[in-house]
Structure 1
Amino acid sequence: MGKIKVGIEAKILSDASAGIGRYVTELCRNLSYDPELSLILYSPSAFNSEIVGKLDKVRFAAGSVKNPVGKQLWLEIVLPFLLKRDEIDIFWAPAHKMPCFVSSKIPKILTVHDLCWKIVPETMKKTTRLLDSYKMPGALRKADIITAPSKSTAEDIAKTFGISKNDINIISPASNLQNVETDDTIISKYGLARKKYILFVGTLEPRKNLERLLKAYSLLDDSLKNDYKLVIAGAYGWGGMKTADIVSQLNLTEYVIITGQLGDDMLASIYANSYFLALPSLYEGFGIPIVEAMSLGVPVLTSEVSSMPEVAGNSALLVDPLDEDSIYKGILELIENKVLYEKLAAGAVESASVFSWQKSADKLSHLIKKMINK
């Protein structure tokens, strides 16, 4: 028997790699080393060249569609035709949605990363929310196998759609930053080499709760803000998150540094040199920055809701994301309580080691082979 042909809807890899894009990239990279599998990635538009460079053992099939409506039509109409033409054995939809016309003869795996549209709809762009709420129920019905990144997300899916938790497979993200050669130019650029600083990493959008984090940070005494700058790293998302304007309104300009999105080498450097990660999100299906920080020995301040306590394990201080005072007290606690800080830092690498891209790829590979060999 020849290799198992796995077709993967990879529209997300036409954009910059963040969140789900990183998940798809790293799982495909690890899956591609399995001698029994052959991966073909499909997208309505050209793939991000940086991502293509990381995936040298997979095939790419890209269209040249540029407008959003055209991309959706490509996924619904062209992709099912390509899957049939390429005689795909298994189809993996790694980003919530499943094309309606994929042949019923092709076994299907669906990954649902979160239920933002259901749990925190106010934090989503309206079109994305409507598309997810419309497409997800049908995708779940079509899927032969469902995966989620965390037990918390699996529970959300089970509760919302009446699916048994036992029928949802947990395939978690991980961090690869501990193996990345760091580029310290970002540290030099902002004069952070000899400073302690608090770090936020994530797309700048409402769900990340950045405005409350900034307001909580502003409550610190000026002397503490001077000693512990707040560094914000991440691409701008949607929702009018004009972070620089909020920083200015709160008189934080001299204490807050906004870097924009960083490559892995600079990201690894800025994590490794940080005092702790602050990620008080309103909701996360997993929260990759938590694992990235811990993998480099950095403790975490994060929210007591959704998947975040599960992912952080024993290396985080948990706060109420809706309460600025709770976030403020958490920041102060990690600055002033050195015993607690050292305890969280000491267990960080071990907490992160629970998660591995290779282990997750092996789980996914096992599911694929099990479906083929039924």
Structure 2
Amino acid sequence: MRIALNASILRAPRTGIGQYLVELVQALATDPNLELQLFNGWNWQPDLPTTALPGYSRLSSLIKRCVPNAYALRRRIEQQRFERGTRDATLYHDPSLWPFTFDGPMVMTLHDLTHVHFPDTQPKDRLAAIERHAVTSVEQARHILVDSQFIGDEVRHYYGVPIERVTVAPLGCSARFHPRPSVQLTARLQSLNLQPGRYLLCVGTLEPRKNLQVVLRAYQHLPPTLREHYPLIIVGMAGWRPEQLAAPLQRALATGQVRLLGYQDDNTVAELMAGARLLLFPSLYEGFGLPVLEAMASGTPAILTRTSALPEVAGEAGTYIDAHADRACAESIQRLIEDQPYWQQKRDAGLLRAEMFSWQRCARITASVYRQVVES
């Protein structure tokens, strides 16, 4: 079975959907009955790109500013290039809301409905394109994969998709996320002026949906001695509407106790995750919440909100707070720092919980859907 996969998102630095695609492709590649062909936005190739396209983010921003109707123009060009490699494809799988036109069975992955709940997280021209095409794409898809039961329920409710056309394929966790002794972390952390177990970590794109504001407020409620010994480290690239975070973030950075590392490579993130005392992930909305799973697999307890799909991932291993309760968040941080038995309990529960998720399982479910669609 020859599967055409849209991998054009890998031109940009990898965030959640990019990580999903990389891990899924690697797991699917072990199935001898599947032949994968990847569309990189311009050409077809059999293998994953090893890195993002150099300068892609800057070039993309420049084109948007300088070329009228840049999204529509780029889409027409990509559609033409896409069609050249799909003539003998058995099935087409797209991991986004806006699949290409394909004359055959199409499977799409809907990771979340952020465009519905948080339309201000998308540039206006992109949001307009998504709104035009999403409904049609959902109607045309033979089957829809989702990362969580929560999103499956949303897809059925919002788009009216029958239950038999939706399958939950929970995400997995890369093998690079695992507990590490301090001696293995020293070199990397020293280069960042950090000590194992002596910092708090936030991982995610800097955008209002990630609710970083409550983390910054909670951190200021901690006793000065804890802030002195446990800096707050923020890892992630700027997202849409970063100006909403600019003032509070700049004030926090000025203290010297909050540090913004920006986008980091996969291995650095994995070591930062394993070395943190805890992960802060109070997101307002997630289709899954991959950093929470990665933290648990690393032996790092997570503080998170009981919203959207996050409880499906963390279960009882999570330490839950209200999305806007900065003082309750501060209390949870302080407890995970000072109460060692409680920290150990959450660490052990997280490691056990993480074993329930794997990319091999995600790939098996995905391949089963491929076969179901082709045989129907």
Instruction: Give deviations 1:302-331, integer Å, cap 9, x for gaps.
Output: 111101111111211111213333333332
Instruction: Give deviations 1:49-96, integer Å, cap 9, x for gaps.
Output: x95239xxxxxxxxxx97443332234444234312xx1100001112
Listed as ranges, the matches of 1:359-370 within 5 Å are 359-370=361-372
Q: Which residue of structure 1 lines up, in the alignment, with residue 39 of structure 2?
A: 42
Between the aligned partners of 1:251 and 1:187, the Cα distance in structure 2 is 19
Residue from 3, 9, 20 that aligns with 1:6: 3
Q: CA deviation at 1:254?
A: 1.8
User: Alignment length, in residue pairs?
Assistant: 355
2:161 is aligned with 1:158 = no
Check whether the contact 2:98–2:133 (CA below 8 A) recurs between aligned residues. Answer: yes
Cα RMSD of the aligned pairs, angstroms, is: 2.6
Q: Which residue of structure 2 lines up, in the alignment, with residue 17 of structure 1?
A: 14
Q: Which residue of structure 1 lines up, in the alignment, with residue 54 of structure 2?
A: none
Between the aligned partners of 1:269 and 1:47, the Cα distance in structure 2 is 33
Q: Which residue of structure 2 lines up, in the alignment, with residue 30 of structure 1?
A: 27
1:363 counterpart SS class: helix
Check whether the contact 2:42–2:82 (CA below 8 A) recurs between aligned residues. Answer: no
2:285 is aligned with 1:283 = yes
Between the aligned partners of 1:168 and 1:184, the Cα distance in structure 2 is 45
Q: CA deviation at 1:211?
A: 2.1
2:2 counterpart SS class: strand
Change (3 A) 1:122 1:171: same
Instruction: Give deviations 1:196-238, integer Å, cap 9, x for gaps.
Output: 2111011112211112211221121211111221111112223
1:53 counterpart SS class: coil
Q: Which residue of structure 1 lines up, in the alignment, with residue 91 of structure 2?
A: 90
Q: Which residue of structure 1 lines up, in the alignment, with residue 140 of structure 2?
A: 142
Between the aligned partners of 2:116 and 2:332, the Cα distance in structure 1 is 28
Between the aligned partners of 1:315 and 1:160, the Cα distance in structure 2 is 30
Q: CA deviation at 1:163?
A: 2.1
Between the aligned partners of 2:360 and 2:240, the Cα distance in structure 1 is 32
Between the aligned partners of 1:244 and 1:226, the Cα distance in structure 2 is 23
Q: Which residue of structure 1 lines up, in the alignment, with residue 122 of structure 2?
A: 124
Between the aligned partners of 2:367 and 2:291, the Cα distance in structure 1 is 25
Check whether the contact 1:303–1:318 (CA below 8 A) recurs between aligned residues. Answer: yes
Listed as ranges, the matches of 1:54-203 within 5 Å are 67=63, 68-69=70-71, 70-84=73-87, 87-99=88-100, 101-103=101-103, 106-176=104-174, 177-178=176-177, 184-193=186-195, 196-203=198-205
Check whether the contact 2:146–2:152 (CA below 8 A) recurs between aligned residues. Answer: yes
Higher helix fraction (1 or 2): 2
Between the aligned partners of 1:186 and 1:243, the Cα distance in structure 2 is 28
Q: Which residue of structure 1 lines up, in the alignment, with residue 55 of structure 2?
A: none
Q: CA deviation at 1:339?
A: 3.6
- Residue type at the aligned position of 2:10: L
Query: Which stretch of structure 1 is more off in the superposition, 352-361 or 233-242?
Result: 233-242
Between the aligned partners of 2:25 and 2:168, the Cα distance in structure 1 is 17
Between the aligned partners of 2:44 and 2:187, the Cα distance in structure 1 is 28
Between the aligned partners of 1:307 and 1:242, the Cα distance in structure 2 is 25
Between the aligned partners of 2:271 and 2:373, the Cα distance in structure 1 is 41
Between the aligned partners of 1:242 and 1:322, the Cα distance in structure 2 is 16
Q: Which residue of structure 1 lines up, in the alignment, with residue 66 of structure 2?
A: none
Change (3 A) 1:15 1:330: same
Query: Runs of 5+ in structure 2 lacking a partner?
Result: 52-58, 64-69
Q: CA deviation at 1:275?
A: 0.6
Q: CA deviation at 1:115?
A: 0.3
Q: CA deviation at 1:355?
A: 1.0
Check whether the contact 1:204–1:241 (CA below 8 A) recurs between aligned residues. Answer: no
Percent identity, aligned pairs only, is 26
Residue from 270, 273, 276 that aligns with 1:274: 276
1:278 counterpart SS class: strand
Change (3 A) 1:302 1:194: closer
Change (3 A) 1:272 1:239: same
Query: Which stretch of structure 1 is more off in the superposition, 107-116 or 34-43?
Result: 34-43
Query: Which stretch of structure 1 is more off in the superposition, 334-343 or 254-263?
Result: 334-343
Q: CA deviation at 1:300?
A: 0.5
Change (3 A) 1:245 1:24: same
Between the aligned partners of 2:257 and 2:76, the Cα distance in structure 1 is 46
Listed as ranges, the matches of 1:200-279 within 5 Å are 200-241=202-243, 245-250=247-252, 253-279=255-281
Check whether the contact 2:189–2:196 (CA below 8 A) recurs between aligned residues. Answer: no
Query: Runs of 5+ in structure 1 lacking a partner?
Result: 55-64
Q: TM-score if structure 1 supplies the norm length?
A: 0.87
Between the aligned partners of 1:158 and 1:164, the Cα distance in structure 2 is 6
1:152 counterpart SS class: helix
Between the aligned partners of 1:95 and 1:269, the Cα distance in structure 2 is 29
Q: CA deviation at 1:245?
A: 5.0
